[in-house]
Amino acid sequence: MGSKNKLKRFKENESFSNVFQPTRDKLVKENFELKGQWRSLVFKNDNPLILELGCGKGEYSVGLAKKYPSKNFIGIDIKGARFWRGAKTAIDESINNVAFLRTQIELIEYAFAKNEVDEIWITFPDPQIKYKRTKHRMTNSEFLKRYKNILKPDGIVNLKTDSEFMHGYTLGLLHGAGHEVLYANHNVYKQEGSPEEVTAIQTFYESQYLEQNKPITYIRFKIK
């Protein structure tokens, strides 16, 4: 994407009512006014709240929001020019139960309160295979702690990835730490049994992996 196009998207994001872009200082040093208040202030209802982490263009956030009008969805990514796509679609199609938050996933506990979140989707995260990058892997134990801190006690996490490494790493970590694996499938389009939305919605990255005939994997789990 050219820088002119990016700038245009950044500008539009600022004017979108469904986009929130708190600064790091706002989150960490001040009180972020939406923390603990997303349902009442943004969605104006008391419906379940579901996050998509590393949402890219936001296919899951928008797709699930259409499918489940009585749930609220927030796509989170550090790259605003990407989720501009999802935010624009939601505005054009008047899908009011989806919003987008621009922040680092590392700061998620500053953006959401304890027990505020019902479910998390992690869609095609970078597997961060190199040893030095382990700390950025979005299912490592540090990230799981952060998720646990904002999820309801029975909250669910969904991981969809093309990376066999990420799939295996996450399953191993979950089993090793005694978390509850509710369901796992290492090839969702070949092996039946995943929840319907796992095969009904494709993300931008996913469609590229599918063209290369890569198996797509899925895990649904609870953090103890």
Ligand X SMILES: C[S@@+](CC[C@H](N)C(=O)[O-])C[C@H]1O[C@@H](n2cnc3c(N)ncnc32)[C@H](O)[C@@H]1O
Could you list the active site residues? 126
Min dist CB 50 to ligand X, Å, is 14
Q: Residue 66's closest CA among 36, 86, 45, 46?
A: 86
Between 156 and 166, CB nearer to ligand X = 166
Q: Which residue stretch of 3-11, 12-20, 186-194, 203-211 sits at the interface with ligand X (rule: CB under 6 A)?
A: 203-211
Three-state DSSP state, 208:
helix
| 56 lies in the binding site for ligand X (CB under 6 A) | yes
Query: Closest by alpha carbon to 204, among 73, 54, 66?
Result: 54
Measured from the CB atom, is 40 or 168 closer to ligand X?
Answer: 168
Which of 25, 154 has the CB closer to ligand X?
25
Q: Where are the alpha helices (DSSP H) in 93-178?
A: 108-111, 141-150, 164-177
Smallest gap, in angstroms, from Cβ of residue 163 to ligand X? 10
Does the CA dihedral 53-58-64-66 come out positive or negative? positive
Instruction: Check binding of 73 to ligand X (CB under 6 A).
Output: no
Find the binder of ligand X among 18, 38, 51, 77 (CB under 6 A): 77
Burial letters 11-28, b for 16+ CB under 10 A, else e = ebbeebebbbebeeeebe
Rg (CA), the chain: 17
Sole binder of ligand X in the list 13, 18, 54, 147 (CB under 6 A): 54
When asked if residue 78 is in the footprint of ligand X (CB under 6 A), the reply is yes
Residue ranges in 82-141 that form contacts with ligand X under rule CB under 6 A = 82, 104-106, 123-126
Site residues (vs ligand X, CB under 6 A): 54-56, 77-79, 82, 104-106, 123-126, 203-206
